[in-house]
Amino acid sequence: MIKSVLHMFYPNINEIIRILETGPRQQERTINLAKGDIQAVCRMARETFMNESMCLDISTPICIVGDLHGQFEDLLRIFKNKGSPPHQRYLFLGDYVDRGKNSVETLTLLLCYKIKYPETVYLLRGNHESPDLNMTYGFFDECKRRYSTKLWKSFVDCYCCMPVAAIISNRVFCCHGGLSPSLTSIDQINSIQRPTDIPETGVLCDLLWSDPDRSYGWNKSTRGVSWVFGSDVVDKFLVRNDFDLICRAHQVVEDGYEFFAKRQLVTIFSAPNYCGVFDNAGATMYIDCNLIITFDIYQGRALRRTSIPDAVISGVKRLARSLNSSLSRESSLNR
């Protein structure tokens, strides 16, 4: 009796990781784990998140991953290429669920790694870590069809406690969406109380929903939520906080990564052939101990690596001025 009670609260994390990293069996698209084990993982991960700040301080080296949206095979490809934790350190920028077919596997594996290696794996919340969006874009239905609505509620209770921003080596500001006109100090992020839903306005909403745009200043977003912000806003934010780069996700970009504002902001999207509809590549961004950036690009089943040897982030010299001239083309971000 005692053994069964302990198992209910402390699942075998190593075994769950092994099963998930092995991948689905041939001709099967999903991996069926015990519902009680997944619920216990959610509880344990929730406690881990609550022990972290809302804005994380992270050192290099680090591999940054953008939207995954339930594309579990692509997550496994990233681990195969870059190395699984703890051999590689990771910062994920959110949107683990919805739209893809394997949101349960994707989020469960990441939560397991967060529990096992809390200072190696960092998970930020995306705008799709939201009950309202889950109802519309698939995660609720996936949980209900494969397990139960109670399991979905366990995931919700967990991701409502996730951090929403990170600062890498005091130079790179990371979040899922973008900046906020209400954000005047990083301390505002750390003052956000958890657990929390995503409000319709304000700093938390904007960090998860806003987008860069070629317009000047702040303008209402065509998404119907939050704002779009111009390169002038990026400039002011970086100067005010003594940062060199903003790294965010939230938008599909053709090559998996895309620069904005004279390469002072970069969008990372890590789900190639998004939803089986888009012809986009996926990408991850690696920052080494010397603050040199490398992109790994995933197109279909192929992998291409792009190094930026001159992209050394420095408190004296802005990243925008030190990027390799081969990246002189600045692409617009699609909405």
Question: For residue range 129-171, what is the model confidence (pLDDT) as tens digits?
Answer: 999 999 999 999 999 999 999 999 999 999 999 999 999 999 9
Share above pLDDT 90 across residues of the chain, in percent, rounded to a whole number: 83
Residue 319 pLDDT > 90, yes or no?
no
Catalytic positions, written as ranges: 128
Angle at 125 between CA 265 and CA 254, to 5 degrees: 45
The phi, psi pair for 287, rounded to 5°, reads -115, 120
CA 216 to chain centre: 27
Q: How confident is the model at residue 9 (pLDDT cuts 50, 70, 90)?
A: low
User: What is d(CA 318, CA 312) in angstroms, rounded to the nearest whole number?
Assistant: 9
Q: Is residue 216 within 8 Å of residue 233, measured between CB atoms?
A: no
Around 216, how many Cα atoms within 13 Å sit in the side-chain half-sphere? Answer: 0
Coil, strand or helix at 143: helix
* pLDDT number for residue 24: 86
170-195 pLDDT tens trace? 999 999 999 999 999 999 999 999 99
Residue 4 pLDDT > 60, yes or no?
no
282-296 pLDDT tens trace? 999 999 999 999 999
Q: Which two tokens stand for residue 300?
A: 């279909």
* pLDDT number for residue 6: 39
Residue 334 pLDDT > 60, yes or no?
no
Q: Provide the 10 A C-beta neighbour count for residue 200.
A: 9
Q: How confident is the model at residue 202 (pLDDT cuts 50, 70, 90)?
A: very high
Question: Strand (E) positions, the chain?
Answer: 55-58, 62-65, 90-92, 121-123, 165-168, 172-175, 211-212, 218-220, 227-229, 245-248, 257-260, 265-268, 282-287, 293-299, 302-308
User: What is d(CA 335, CA 324) in angstroms, rounded to the nearest whole number?
Assistant: 26
Q: Which two tokens stand for residue 260?
A: 């904005």
18-66 pLDDT tens trace? 999 998 887 788 999 999 999 999 999 999 999 999 999 999 999 999 9
User: What is d(CA 180, CA 204) in angstroms, rounded to the nearest whole number?
Assistant: 8
Residue 270 pLDDT > 80, yes or no?
yes
* pLDDT number for residue 306: 61
* pLDDT number for residue 27: 73
Q: Which residue type sits at 276?
A: G
At a CB cut-off of 8 Å and minimum separation 6, what does 30 contact? 24, 101, 102, 104, 105, 146
* pLDDT number for residue 320: 36
Residue 255 pLDDT > 60, yes or no?
yes
- Give the chain's mean pLDDT: 90
72-87 pLDDT tens trace? 999 999 999 999 999 9
Residue 302 pLDDT > 90, yes or no?
no
Q: Is residue 242 within 8 Å of residue 167, measured between CB atoms?
A: no
Coil, strand or helix at 168: strand
| 204-217: average pLDDT | 98
Residue 111 pLDDT > 50, yes or no?
yes
| 249-274: average pLDDT | 98
For each of the domains in the chain, give its residue range(s) and CATH number, in order of start. 2-20+32-326 (3.60.21.10)
Residue 233 to residues 113, 125, 201: CA-CA distances in angstroms? Answer: 36, 23, 18
Q: Is residue 10 within 8 Å of residue 40, measured between CB atoms?
A: yes
Q: Which two tokens stand for residue 290?
A: 């010397």
